[in-house]
A = this chain, B = another copy of it.
Amino acid sequence: MDGLLEKCSCEKCELRSSFFAHVDPQGIEKICRGKIETQYKRGDNIIQEGNEIIDFIYLKSGLVKLFKITDDGREQIINIAKPFDFVSLLSIFSDTHYKYSVSALEDSVICNLVLSDMKKFAEDNGKFAFDMMQKMSKITDKILVQSLEIRRRNLKGRVAFILLYFANDIYDNLTIDLPVSRKEIAEYISMSTENVIRTFSEFRDDKIIKIYGKNIEIIDLPSLERISKFG
């Protein structure tokens, strides 16, 4: 479950140039010292919905999914996050408890910073707070827009949309090694597993994609984009 704890080398951390651009070296040093890096294996739970928010967490490597458990006990996937898409940002400053869960889709490394330190830094340093706000705004905005996009599409449009999402946003490649099961895709786009599979098969028969298990190759991008746009 919880992997080895160890200190990481913050010197080459990507956050330095973006997030901490306006924090002085001593500040970064202080945050860095309080930091814990944790290793997670594929499938491990990282954040549990309802738990208290005590750390400021970000993904250093790997891939994770954010999801909620609905009243009838099913999972609803909110987003898939790559490294440095801050996973604990959604409600971190406006809530005391997590409103969603996070688990690892691939082996992942999580960096835990001390939340109260971050809060203090934000309050003492407007530029830092502003940078953080911008980053936060960008991420939540992206997630919201995606949710709206999914909502207004029909089955085929949703499947096409999510394939393009993996190809463009997650892997930047027309060949995708799906990090999720068909069931999880269904949970992402709010459709039934069977119909996701059926749509995959249909796209395959129409020569839009090639399917080799979890590996999917987009061979007719224009068609897929048209379906995503207009169903």
Residues of B within 8 A of A68 (CB): 148
Q: Please state the number of chain copies in the assembly.
A: 2
CB-based nearest B residue for A71: B229
Q: How far is the CA of A138 from the CA of B137 in the complex (A)?
A: 11
Q: How far is the CA of A11 from the CA of B192 in the complex (A)?
A: 55
CB-based nearest B residue for A127: B123
Residues of B within 8 A of A71 (CB): 229-230
A68 CB, nearest partner CB in chain B, Å: 7
Residues of B within 8 A of A70 (CB): 152
Q: How far is the CA of A99 from the CA of B148 in the complex (A)?
A: 12
- A 129-140 to B, binary, CB cutoff 8 A, 1 in contact else 0: 110111111101
Is A113 located at the chain interface by the 8 A CB criterion? no
- Evaluate whether A119 and B130 lie within 8 angstroms (CB atoms) in the complex, with A71-B230, A91-B137, A140-B140 already known: yes
Whether B152 contacts A190 by the Cβ 8 Å rule is yes
Q: How far is the CA of A78 from the CA of B95 in the complex (A)?
A: 22
- A 102-125 to B, binary, CB cutoff 8 A, 1 in contact else 0: 000000000000000001001111
> Which secondary structure dominates where chain A touches chain B?
helix
A12 CB, nearest partner CB in chain B, Å: 26
A102 CB, nearest partner CB in chain B, Å: 15
Q: How far is the CA of A226 from the CA of B172 in the complex (A)?
A: 43
Whether B190 contacts A151 by the Cβ 8 Å rule is yes
30 contacts between A and B (CB under 8 A): A71-B230, A76-B151, A76-B152, A78-B148, A91-B137, A91-B141, A92-B137, A93-B130, A93-B133, A94-B138, A95-B141, A119-B130, A122-B126, A122-B130, A122-B133, A126-B128, A126-B129, A129-B129, A129-B133, A133-B133, A136-B137, A140-B141, A140-B144, A143-B144, A144-B144, A144-B147, A147-B147, A150-B151, A151-B151, A152-B190
* Closest 6 pairs between A and B when the two form their complex, measured CB to CB: A129-B129, A94-B137, A94-B138, A147-B147, A126-B126, A123-B126
| Chain A interface (Cβ < 8 Å from any Cβ of B) | 68, 70-72, 76, 78, 90-95, 99, 119, 122-130, 132-138, 140-141, 143-145, 147-148, 150-152, 190, 229-230
